[in-house]
Amino acid sequence: MILQQLLYFNKVAEYQNVTKAAEALYVSQPTLSRNIKQLEDELECKLFTRKGKSLLLTESGKILYARSTQILRELRQTQMELRELNNSDSEIITVQLRCVAGLFFDILFSYIAQHQNIVFNILQNDNEGINSSEYDLFLYPSLSYTHSAMTDTLFRENIYVAMSENHPLAAKEELTAEDLNDQQFVSIASNRYFHKISQELREQYPQMLCNIFCDDMVAVRNLVRDHNYLTLLPEFTWQKPELTGIVLRSVRNMDMNRYVCLTTNNNRHLSAAAVSCRRYFLTELNKRGIVVLSRGKKTSEEESL
């Protein structure tokens, strides 16, 4: 039995669903299922039973969940104490950021202005860090509505067609599916999570034919702004200055959106600073007219404040 298996097991137990747990962990479903099976083989017992689309803990699973939760709690407490001991002059918050970068940084800058003693580690491509619980807060997109004890489903984010303001289609307030025929599309490459969502949308709407894939959003933006390519773009990916020369258009009768989720680390002690930052982010969303769709339970650290 290894720590990673306990982390995987806890996440499946939390979501009661392999697909959603794998999405939250940024691992493939086969990898997650294989680790759970290895854990069951080693312990010589079943940990889950299936009820409809949900995975429920067996009696053995309940025992392991209670024990492993305690182990992981002690581990995160130890990590936090060591981190605080070695960073006595400032507090550190690690954020794994996989979506709404423009919105997040806009809110973050206002938070930092009020909390000069906090240092932020913003990780946007460190999937290994997610698997090893190297984060306090984790912002990620989901293809479906998600609800769990530790997760806030923040909002449903629209996905638009982005184009240069000089593109012939930019004169239209709303596009039609026919407008997209014979247009050149550029897309983010498979190393980014949005690739999965955009790929699914292109399968639903084949008129959005894509012939260039870039692993960097700056390259995508430049091709859109300077070379008349189109791309699919979530509403809050870029800040306003980054959208200079670019317009976003919805497409009539095309249901293009995703959910944005915020998870706190169930396997790591959350500092008062991390709790404060999470609360500030949710409050700022509300001020901007974005209503949080679901709330997970308060952390023990948040309840104590």
DSSP-assigned letters across all residues of 234-292? ETTSS-GGGGTTEEEEEETT---EEEEEEEE-TTSPPPHHHHHHHHHHHHHHHHTT---
185 pLDDT exceeds 90?
A: yes
Q: Token digits for 61?
A: 């699973």
CA gap 286, 294 in Å, rounded: 13
Residue 27, amino acid: V
Strands 137-142 and 257-264: antiparallel
* Interval 205-234: pLDDT, tens: 998 989 899 988 889 999 999 999 999 999
* Interval 17-60: pLDDT, tens: 888 888 777 788 888 999 999 999 999 999 999 988 889 999 99
Q: What proportion of the chain, given as a percentage, has pLDDT over 90?
A: 48
pLDDT at 304: 46
CA gap 202, 213 in Å, rounded: 13
Confidence of residue 301 (pLDDT cuts 50, 70, 90): very low
pLDDT at 87: 59
Regarding pTM above 0.85, the answer is no
HSE-up of 274 (CA within 13 Å, CB side)? 26
Helices and strands (H, E) in the chain, number of each type: 10, 12
CA gap 173, 210 in Å, rounded: 23
2 pLDDT exceeds 70?
A: yes
CA gap 122, 130 in Å, rounded: 12
Distance (Å) of CA 250 to CA 149, 176, 239, 254: 34, 9, 18, 8
pLDDT at 152: 87
Q: Could you please state the CATH topology (level 3) that the domain comprising 3-73 is classified under.
A: Arc Repressor Mutant, subunit A (1.10.10)
**Which of 41-50, 154-163, 267-276 is predicted least confidently?**
267-276
Higher pLDDT, 269 or 171: 171
pLDDT at 305: 44
pLDDT at 171: 96
Q: Are 118 and 87 in contact (CB under 8 A)?
A: no
The mean predicted confidence, pLDDT, of the chain is 87
pLDDT at 128: 64
Confidence of residue 134 (pLDDT cuts 50, 70, 90): confident
pLDDT at 239: 85
Q: Token digits for 60?
A: 């053995």
Structural domain spans, the chain:
3-73, 93-305
The CATH code that applies to domain 93-305 is 3.40.190.290
Q: Please list the residues that pair with 259 across neighbouring strands.
A: 142, 156
Q: Are 5 and 65 in contact (CB under 8 A)?
A: no
